[in-house]
Chain A
Amino acid sequence: MGIFDDELKILRERILKLGCMVENAIRDSVKALVERDSELAKEVIKRDHLVNALDVGIDEECVRLIALRQPMARDLRLITTAMKITTDLERMGDLAVNIAERAIELNDEPQLKPFVNIPKMAEITQTMVRDALDSFVTGCSRLPYEVIKRDDEVDDLTVRNFEELLSFMIQDPKIIPLAVKRTYIAKYLERIADHATNIAEMIIYMCKGKMIRHTEISEEI
């Protein structure tokens, strides 16, 4: 069984590596936007193929482990969780690319107003991603529940950001193209937070063997 344990350890490490790459992509895409650094944004776009390649590699490894090791119980739950969370991580990587693309477009234009909501959203979202991945390593704890709870904060900020930009757009329709791009970015961050929530839900499944997706988790928390 030693070999299988080693294989599972390597699988966990590869997931963490993928998670790290995605965390960096999110951080750099928002930094490129806030600091108007288009070179950094291009860097994020260029690195995305590495995320995609690792995602495919992890999926192939999971299929191989299911076929050859016929995992049961917690091993089975670890592997199925790995397959699902890599999909979420890969999508987060794509969303970071979308942020970088919008950053490049916005950096070519004069700044509308300083960023307030977006950096706040980015900070919460990044913490959610990091905590979700930490709980993948540390296993059963309250951490994944905390991640799920924080998703509401990001949702609220998305709405607040949109309302603020809407009032700007009403006052001055000329800024609509720029303001719409900013609402897109907030939406991308909100989607990233949703994926982090998915990961946290899968980790609860991995630990407890109970699917909590699409259910009220208040009693759990």
Chain B
Amino acid sequence: MVMDPIKAESKNLDFYYGNLQALKNVSLQIQERKITALIGPSGCGKTTYLRCFNRMHDLYPHNKYHGEIILYPDEINIISPSVDPIEVRMRISMVFQKPNPFPKSIFENVAYGLRVRGISNRSILSEKVEKSLRSAALWDEIKDRLHLPAFDLSGGQQQRLCIARALATDPEILLFDEPTSALDPIATGKIEELIMGLQEHVTILIVTHNMQQAARISDFTAFMYLGEVVEFGDTDNLFVNPQNKLTEEYITGRFG
């Protein structure tokens, strides 16, 4: 079997919230331009794991990491204190559970990351904003009202706006933390299609409580429990013929 290139890899990653160990020796390879889903019961560590990838945990002083998360091709350890978290977040963007647009116009929401980077040229900004909104399948719906407040959009549109905002800085990895849990099935369908389309350009890591969603959209799935990866493999195999009894119990709904 020819292995696809690896985009990122956690090696023996431990994570602590103060004294509480939330991740235990997590080693996973994230393949480039594929969708990798993280599933598992609440509290299993999947969101904690996802947040390590863009240094969200740095915001709190008692959190600590051990181990490495290597980003390829330059092989930097993105959790190393010597690496600037702002730089990591430019390369690895995140979309959250609830749409969280800034209290700004639609245009300024998408342009935000670029302005932080120091881009102020109006035509470059316009071009980037349009490109990102098109990639997020939102452009046609809102191109005539770019200067209205982002809060005027529907929930599904707001979430696509957040995806556009995440795409604006041309990230290499996009992290999704239950991106459709606050959306209705139609908006969910649109986001799922969008995510599947995005993988042509960007590597995707997604946390979801919806196993059917993981089955529908991901190429690889990791099942986590009590801070550890119990099973990791091709999504097709994992949902049809899981090798681990715990995985089987969880995905057939007989857990606990």
Contacts and interface: CB of A to CB of B under 8 A. Distances in A.
B217 interface: no
Interface string B60-97: 00000000000000000000000000000000000000
Contacts of A76: 239-240
B248 interface: yes
B211 interface: yes
B240 A1 contact: no
Contacts of A73: 239-242, 247-248, 251-252
A75 B252 CA distance: 7
Contact of A71 (B241, B247, B252): B252
B251 A1 contact: no
B241 A72 contact: no
A209 B253 contact: no
Contacts of B212: 70
Interface in A70-125: 70-77
Contact of A1 (B241, B248, B254): B254
Contacts of B242: 73
Interface in A26-79: 70-77
A4 B253 contact: yes
Contacts of A4: 253
B254 A72 contact: no
Contacts of B248: 73-74
Nearest to B249: A73
A153 to B, nearest CB: 32
A209 B241 contact: yes
Interface string B215-251: 1000000000000000000000001111000011001
Contacts of A70: 212
A152 B99 CA distance: 63
Interface in A1-38: 1, 4
Contacts of A77: 240-241
B240 A209 contact: yes
Interface hub of B211, B215, B241, B247 (most chain A Cβ within 10 A): B241
Nearest to A2: B254
A74 B244 CA distance: 12
A209 B240 CA distance: 7
A1 B251 CA distance: 12
Contacts of A210: 241
Contacts of B247: 73
Nearest to B215: A72
Contacts of A208: 241
Contacts of A75: 252
B60 to A, nearest CB: 36
Interface of A: 1, 4, 70-77, 208-210
10 nearest interchain CB pairs? Answer: A209-B241, A72-B251, A1-B253, A73-B248, A75-B252, A73-B252, A72-B239, A72-B252, A73-B242, A73-B251
7 contacts: A1-B252, A71-B252, A72-B215, A72-B253, A73-B248, A73-B252, A77-B241
